[in-house]
Amino acid sequence: MFDVYLYVYDLSCGVTKALSPIILGKQIEGIWHTSVVLHNKEYFYGSHGISFCKPEHTVLGKPGQKVYMGQTSVTEAELSNYLEHLAVTSFRGGHYRLFDHNCNTFSNHLCGYLTNKEIPEYIVSLPADVASTPLGAVLKPYLNTLSVGLNNVPQFGLEATKEIDTNNHCIEEIKRSFVPILFDEPLPSDILPHRVHLLWSGDDHSAKAELAVAVTKIVVESQSSVNLSPEHYSLLELSELETADQCLVACELFRLALWRDPDLLTAMLTDPERHLHRLAVAELPVTNPNEVLDLTVAKAKVLCNYLGLSQDWPLEGNREFVVELRPILNICLLLLGHDEHQLPGHDSRTLMPDHRYTGLALAHNLALNMQPYVGWNWSVDSPAMIWQRNTKSLISHFGNRLPPDQRFLDSTTKLSS
């Protein structure tokens, strides 16, 4: 008799458990990928078909759980013949369907054949639990990559499938399956022209006050086209502002303006003064760590909309129009609590859910934009590879290899002792 194990991986590495109560209102423990292990081989199914490798030798590394499913009398030769049959019938690569015929469907079927037992219900029911919720739009990229990158060459049914392009997850298809996260919520109720003007009390800053009021009127009153001028863009020079409220208003206005009118993004990217380009490293006129984090979130939402709206733009030939990504990555690492990217005297355990969620959204959009412009000495093969490493591995992999940008440090660490 031979032991049979179910290997269970959480592709979100705990992020889903942390964020699902906030976004969904109920707990979802993880985004599960499973495989079946026996005869010293790990068997799994994906869009490419059925494959195997040595246990724990996929890019996912060690499983979060190893569930003992029982014993079987099926020999390795008998199993190989059975999998050859499945690979040309019910588990062909072309039959993979995200929500009802995925890697977990295969694991459940194979465990039933080997041990007459089903895999845990919480794994099987995951797609149905998520698909009907608003959270599904955010988590769908995770689900779309349940088997991406584990092994894109099928090892069963080769003769029958040799005419099929089994490498379905080329980079362009992967990028199409990922939906950018945009911050499109309405402006806070207190951002109105007459209230914004009160944020500037000194005569020396009346020009900035008038600019802020003008931008507020345009954004509040417009529903599509947002007619702002390069002079208005200067509000994003946060180092020239005096208070946290002024900075927050500036970021909120441009966050919504960019979402309403993508043509505005074109104008801002071609602005010779490059106000948007400097936003990630803009110094903040505050010293309190909590205010710094809140304003970093406000900056991140503007940058998230920039990345999301420009995802498919052919900018690689016009690098002067591209916002530098390294400072944006520093913001991601700060908001996600990486050990090497913290504010002095601030414990990352006190980060608020909005900080982490915004950092995750920014990392998601950054992953979609990295490939065309990556100039660092990293191996960034595709957006899928970033998410295969899952969020914590992304933070560890990039955070430990990316010293904090000194400009970013200067913009966030001028805190009072």
Residue position matching structure tokens 């970013």: 408
CA distances from 62 to 42, 68, 124, 329, 364 (A): 12, 16, 21, 27, 24
Q: Whole-angstrom Cα distance, residue 32 to residue 44?
A: 13
Question: Annotated catalytic residue: which of 103, 111, 251, 304?
Answer: 103
* Alpha-carbon torsion (186, 187, 193, 195), positive or negative: positive
Q: Under a CB-based contact definition with an 8 Å cutoff, are residues 148 and 384 in contact? A: yes
Q: Do the bridges between strand 41-46 and strand 49-53 make them parallel or antiparallel, or are there none, so unpaired?
A: antiparallel
The amino acid occupying position 248 is L
CA distances from 141 to 162, 303, 365, 386 (A): 28, 20, 12, 12
* Alpha-carbon torsion (249, 250, 256, 257), positive or negative: positive
Greatest alpha-carbon span in the chain = 86
Has 13 been annotated as catalytic? Answer: no
Question: In this structure, how many other beta carbons lie within 10 angstroms of the beta carbon of residue 101?
Answer: 15
Q: Whole-angstrom Cα distance, residue 23 to residue 44?
A: 31
- Side-chain-side CA neighbours of residue 198 (13 Å): 6
Question: Annotated catalytic residue: which of 33, 169, 232, 364?
Answer: 33
Q: Under a CB-based contact definition with an 8 Å cutoff, are residues 127 and 98 in contact? A: yes
Residue-level length of the chain: 417
Q: Whole-angstrom Cα distance, residue 48 to residue 147?
A: 9
Tokens of 30: 């993880």
Has 33 been annotated as catalytic? Answer: yes
Strand arrangement, sheet containing 49-53? 49-53, 41-46, 32-38, 2-10, 65-72
How far the first Cα of the chain sits from its last, in Å, is 67
Question: In this structure, how many other beta carbons lie within 10 angstroms of the beta carbon of residue 16?
Answer: 25
Question: In this structure, how many other beta carbons lie within 10 angstroms of the beta carbon of residue 228?
Answer: 21
DSSP characters for 233-254?
HGGG-GGG--SHHHHHHHHHHH
Tokens of 356: 């982490």
Catalytic machinery residues? 33, 103
